[in-house]
Amino acid sequence: MVARVIPVDPFDLVIFGATGDLARRKILPGLYRRWKEGQIPEGSAIIGAARSDMDADGFRALVGEALQEFLPVAELVAETVASFLEILNYVTIDARGDGGWAELAGLMRKDKVRAFYLSVAPALFGDIAKRLKERGIAHRDSRIVVEKPFGKDLETARALNASLASYFHEDQIYRIDHYLGKETVQNLMAVRFANILFEPLWNAQYVDHVQITVAETVGVGGRGEYYDHSGAIRDMVQNHMMQLLCLIAMEPPSRFDPDAMRDEKLKVIRALDPVAPSEIVRGQYRGKDGDDYLTEAGNPDSRTESFVAMKLHISNWRWKGTPFYLRTGKRLRSRASEIAITFKEPPHSIFGESNQWRENVLVIRLQPDEGMDLRVMIKEPGPGGMRLKDVALDMSFAEALGDDLDIPDAYERLIMDVIRGNQTLFMRGDEVEAAWGWVDPVLQMMEERGDVPEPYEPGSAGPEGSLMLMHRDGRRWREMR
Q: How many CB atoms lie within 10 A of CB 144?
A: 25
Q: Which residues contact 338 (CB under 8 A, 6 or more apart)?
A: 211, 212, 213, 363, 364, 365, 366, 478
Spatial separation of the C-alpha atoms in residues 203 and 320, rounded to whole Å: 9
* Cα 161–chain centre separation: 20
Residues in the chain: 481
Specify whether 471 is catalytic.
no
How many Å is the Cα radius of gyration of the chain?
24
Q: Is 385 left (phi over 0), alpha (psi -120 to 50) or beta?
A: left
Closest by CA position to 20, among listed 56, 72, 62, 57: 62
42: three-class secondary structure by DSSP: coil
Q: Which residues contact 4 (CB under 8 A, 6 or more apart)?
A: none
- Which string of b and e fits 39-73 if b means at least 16 CB within 10 Å? bbeeebbbbbbbbbebeeeebbebbbebbeeebee
Quick one: CA dihedral 257, 263, 264, 266, positive or negative?
Answer: positive
Which of these is catalytic: 178, 209, 240, 348? 240
- Which string of b and e fits 16-38 if b means at least 16 CB within 10 Å? bbbbbebbbebbbbbbbbbbbee
- Which string of b and e fits 421-441 if b means at least 16 CB within 10 Å? eebbbbbbbbbbbbbbbbbbe
Any idea which residues carry the catalytic annotation? 240
